Chain A
Amino acid sequence: MGPIAKLLAQRISLGLLLLLLVSIVIFVGTSILPGDVAQQILGQSATPEALANLREELGVNDPPVTRYLNWLGGLLTGDLGTALTSGQSINEAIGRRLSNTLFLAVCAAVIAVPLAIFLGLLAVRYQERWPDKAISASTLTTISMPEFVIGYIMMFIFGVQLRWFSPTAVGYRPEADFFTRLESIALPVIVLTLVVLAHMMRMTRAAILNVMQSAYIETAELKGMSTFSVIRKHAFPNAVAPIVNVVMLNLAYLVVGVVVVEVVFVYPGMGQYLVDHVTKRDLPVVQACGIIFAAIYIGLNLVADVVSIVTNPRLRHPK
């Protein structure tokens, strides 16, 4: 287990370092202010003393490094600060919205992942024949459309014309029971699923194909094993790692897709929160949301790498 533990430790510390660097990038990115924060909050008619006081309070006059460390310290202790525009605690807002967003994302993932693997297997089984080509064509179409386009088309057809689902999720109540919640987010989940599914399915197909074309699969066939046995005993164990890798990488698409989908369907989640406050130029919120999204993205990629390391037979059984 020696080399694996070492590699894992390396990879995880690299991930943490990356997160730290990203926090710096985000902070720096939002600190090059062309305008004056205090002015923006108090408006045009503020007195110079009020502006000076507010600047003092906000800590705008401190050197950048101090400000960064204060912010970082706050992050690490779980205090994300207060929104400039509303004065509300960011912690509270994010607390609610993050769980909403996670609920949405997890529902989509739970449907998309098994479906992607199943369709990938199907496409490989009928390679170059019509099921494969049909699946290929539809995924090509889906990944060529922005999420909001898919969203509005779905909303129009299924939400407004056919009335199968509620057209927006604005009425979502986290306190309601599970099935009511599912009903109100049906459309956003479907749209998210479609987006993630398209990308994921193409990559699972490629990963499975790669395994099936290995020489040891031929060896198994020449032993007289049935196709099913070959897949079960030889292909599957070697395909698990690449497929998990693909799944993790594509779940990262969820992070981006969720932002747009929440805006389209007016869903009270992190994505909508971020977009609203970007327009209002509410920097503390933007910084906090930015770092959280980045952390999730980095985390998913980290898990993908870890799985690759842990399942590599050369590392598990060194010479």
Chain B
Amino acid sequence: MSIRIPLAALLGLFFTGLFFLVAVFAPLLAPYGYDEVVSSGFWDPSSSEYWLGTDGIGRDLLSRIIYGLRTTIWIATLATLLSFTTGSVLGFLAAVMGGWVDQALSRFVDLIMSIPSLIFALVILSITPITITVLILVMGFLDSTRVYRLARAVAVDITVMDYVEAAKLRGEKYIWIIFREILPNALSPLVAEMGLRFIFMVLFISTLSFLGLGIQPPQADLGGIVRENAEGLTYGIGAALYPAITIALLAISVNLVADWVLARTTSLKGGRG
């Protein structure tokens, strides 16, 4: 079977791979330290020494962005993993066990979801210390509600299938049913969703940092770097645009890959993607 990857997905895969590689090998790739003040001026234009110029206090912008990308991806990945595992496990549990477990979890999730995530995060962050751990926990927890709903819906769809009943009638244990009957069929919609959750985390942490409630200086993620250089925009200095566009490119490329995965797997083997 010939596998044709559409151009959009190829671009997406390429850029996503590129960004992740840069994030992993940041210390090797960045020409300068993330905190190094290299120039006596500020917002110097791009030159052969500083490819993107310098930022507001004379640090190499390119290095800053490379490390920022690393921080953003690192946090987004951890938060996605947290949100994903919590949401899926609880969602499956609710679907398979039903009854009051399902009711209690679902009502609780409904309650959390009736406050917009950003607002909720702001409220919580107004009293907690703002550390990376806290940020990952807050973002992961808030977003797990969406994963819960999807995982539960997918699992419920599957549990009503006759082949699950056939397994029950055979005498199979719960564990077997969840891992051998339900999970393989739930994977593809969930995997595609994981991509979307990752994008959401990237946007979320960037927005929080931009508002000053994310990563605290001197460390910075992409959103923080935008915030640092935002002032320059009104003077016609486009330094803040570089990290901003990086965020956009990262999100768009992951989106393209996620779209492609979803389109491909819904048509595979039996179509129950």
Contact = CB atoms under 8 A, between A and B. Distances in A.
| Direct A–B contact present (CB less than 8 angstroms) | yes
Interface of A: 18, 21-22, 25-26, 29-30, 32-34, 140-141, 144-149, 152-153, 155-156, 160-161, 167-168, 252, 255-256, 259-260, 263-264, 274-275, 277-279, 281-283, 286-287, 290, 293-294, 297-298, 301
Nearest to A14: B110
A141 B250 CA distance: 11
Contacts of A259: 118-119, 122, 211
B127 A294 contact: no
A161 to B, nearest CB: 7
Given A290-B122, A298-B114, 7 more contacts: A18-B111, A22-B114, A140-B256, A146-B206, A155-B233, A286-B126, A294-B116
B210 A146 contact: yes
Given A29-B123, A152-B230, A293-B116, A147 B207 contact: yes
A278 B117 CA distance: 15
A261 to B, nearest CB: 11
Contacts of B230: 152, 264
B155 interface: no
B115 interface: yes
**Is chain A's interface secondary structure helix, strand, loop, or mixed overall?**
helix
Interface of B: 110-112, 114-120, 122-129, 199, 203, 206-207, 210-213, 223, 226, 230, 233-236, 238, 240-241, 244-245, 247-248, 251-252, 255-256, 259
Nearest to B211: A275
Contacts of A277: 126
A140 B260 CA distance: 13
Contact of A278 (B110, B122, B247, B248): B122
A120 to B, nearest CB: 19
B122 A160 contact: no
Contacts of B211: 259-260, 263, 275, 278
B116 A32 contact: no
A152 B226 contact: yes
B213 A156 contact: no
Given A252-B116, A294-B114, A294-B115, A146 B236 contact: no
A148 to B, nearest CB: 5
Given A278-B213, A279-B212, A297 B116 contact: yes
Given A34-B127, A301-B114, A152 B233 contact: yes
B151 to A, nearest CB: 21
Given A152-B233, A160-B236, A274-B122, A144 B248 contact: yes
Contacts of A264: 230
A34 to B, nearest CB: 7
Nearest to B121: A278
A66 to B, nearest CB: 20
Nearest to B259: A140
Given A144-B252, A148-B226, A278 B125 contact: yes
6 contacts: A152-B226, A256-B116, A260-B210, A278-B211, A294-B114, A297-B115
A283 B115 CA distance: 17
Given A145-B248, A293-B116, A298-B114, A34 B241 contact: no
A140 B116 contact: no
B247 A279 contact: no
A286 B244 contact: no
> Looking at A144, A153, A156, which has the most chain B CB atoms within 10 Å of its CB?
A144
Contacts of B129: 34
A170 to B, nearest CB: 10
B122 A283 contact: no
A281 B116 contact: no
Nearest to A141: B252
B242 to A, nearest CB: 11
Nearest to A257: B118
A305 B255 CA distance: 30
A294 B256 CA distance: 32
A144 B233 contact: no
Contacts of B212: 275, 279
A168 B233 CA distance: 11
B133 to A, nearest CB: 14
Contact of B238 (A156, A256, A290): A156
